[in-house]
Amino acid sequence: MLKNRKITVAVTGGIAAYKACEVVRGLVKLGADVRVAMTENATRFVGPVTFEALSGHPVATSEWEHTPEGAMPHIELNLHADLLLVVPATANILAKAARGIADDLVSALILAHRSKVAFVPAMNRHMWANPATQRNVADLKRDGAHFIGPDSGFQACGDVGEGRMTEPADILDLLPGLFSEKPLSGRRVLMTVGPTYEPIDDVRGITNRSSGRQGFALARAARDLGADVTVVAGPVTVKRPAGVRIVPVTTAREMLGAVEGELDRTPYDLFIGVAAVADWRVADRLEGKWKKDAGLPQLRLVENPDILAAVGHRAGGPVTIGFAAEATDLLENAYAKLEKKGAAMIVANVARDALASDTNRVLVVTDGEVDEIGPADKDEVARKILYHAVDLLEEDYGPEDDL
């Protein structure tokens, strides 16, 4: 989504300016075409030459220097941009932007912006909590500006609280959403992702092979399409998506408990069961660590609850989508699961192809039709699956239901 996007990064003077280097590097790596402008104060924290090396272009620091952008950088840099990203954004730049003050290059750039503008605030927690800053943020949002963060945590000044800049990796994760349409806006999506782990004793257990990659790709895609996303996640190994609520669990029974708890508390529109739930657990979990000298443990397995089926058959429950990882007979098994699990849609794939891979090929099976997606990278597959979900939701709550 960021490939070939034209992005102007405006860096203002806060200690978090060094993290903007990582943002610029990440954007370039993702194929974006990046230009950088800096305030004079920002240049006290990081030298322009660093951004010049990272972006591959000269850095604009003043209205009065002719750059390759031309004699009026505040206009030229905006002409260049699909997005103006202010990172880090100090309390001062937010105040100037909210009031339309343009007394240096970056503030003039913001006033003259004609594309999307996004602020990534970074400041001391008292400055962030100050009603003046909160007023400015509210005004800027009302005027259509986007905000990423701030997060809570340790601050450079030694304080702990809200105002810390969102980590570069999370900024890069959230940016594609700014370019996405929002057909899931106002929708709540609940998902299960990753494997479950069923302990045998304190150190051994039964689990399934699942990194959580396809599940988190779906969570990101749902978030980018405008949904409010909650993920009940087993022990996953991949980076968690930003801007998504994660409820961590370990066992299948914990996963079911967390899912039912969510559904009891909140009306969800859509449930997507992506988790590779362990089908069995040990009936009598052993205490401590079973020693080999004690002989072979006699394990009795019992079946775990079927989370997808529980949600699919729930009265008044959400529209339900399941996955089916199969070794053979993809379509036949998908139809059987559609029925058995009370799902509106089953996404079927060949287990061997999807595991620990960046790409996937799936069949999307509903009552009426079968659609093939891929082979494509998991983000692309996720987006296409969600467009099918949008259709299902529209059928479920479509205009005819309003008549």
**Buried/exposed code over 363-393 (b: 16+ C-beta within 10 A; e: otherwise):** bbbbeeeeeebbebebbbbbbbbbebbeebb
Q: Which of 168, 323, 330, 386 binds ligand CTP (CB under 6 A)?
A: 323
Is residue 334 close enough to count as binding ligand CTP by CB under 6 A?
no
Question: Counting contacts by CB under 6 A, is residue 325 touching ligand CTP?
Answer: yes
Residues of this chain, 292-321, that bind ligand CTP according to CB under 6 A:
304, 306-308
Tokens 């009265």 -> residue: 315
Residue 103, exposed/middle/buried by CB under 10 A (0-12, 13-18, 19+)? exposed
Look up tokens 């660093």; give the residue. 50
Among 277, 330, 364, 382, binds ligand CTP (CB under 6 A): 277
Kindly determine how many residues on this chain lie close enough to bind ligand CTP according to the rule CB under 6 A.
17
Q: How far is the CB of 394 from ligand CTP (least distance, A)?
A: 22
Question: Which pairing describes strands 197-199 and 205-207: parallel, antiparallel, or unpaired?
Answer: antiparallel
Catalytic residues: 157
322 lies in the site for ligand CTP, by CB under 6 A: yes
Counting other chains too, the contacts that 264-267 makes at CB distance below 8 Å and 24 or more residues apart are 266/188, 267/188
- According to DSSP, the β-strands at 205-207 and 301-303 are unpaired
Nearer to ligand CTP, 86 or 311 (CB): 311
For the chain, the farthest-separated pair of C-alpha atoms sits apart, in whole angstroms, at 82
Q: Which is nearer to ligand CTP, 59 or 252 (CB)?
A: 252
Per CB under 6 A, the segment of 24-32, 170-178, 275-283, 359-367 that binds ligand CTP is 275-283
Nearest CB to ligand CTP, comparing residues 128 and 323? 323
CA nearest to 12, candidates 66, 84, 81, 116: 84
The helix or strand, by DSSP H or E, that contains position 164, with its residue range, turns out to be strand 160-164
Nearer to ligand CTP, 43 or 304 (CB): 304
Of the pair 109, 276, the CB lying nearest ligand CTP is at 276
Residue 138 CA to residue 20 CA, distance in Å, equals 24
Binding residues for ligand CTP restricted to 92-121, rule: CB under 6 A? none
Q: Which residues in 186-225 contact ligand CTP (CB under 6 A)?
A: 192
Site residues (CB under 6 A) for ligand CTP?
192, 252, 273-275, 277, 279, 304, 306-308, 322-325, 337, 341
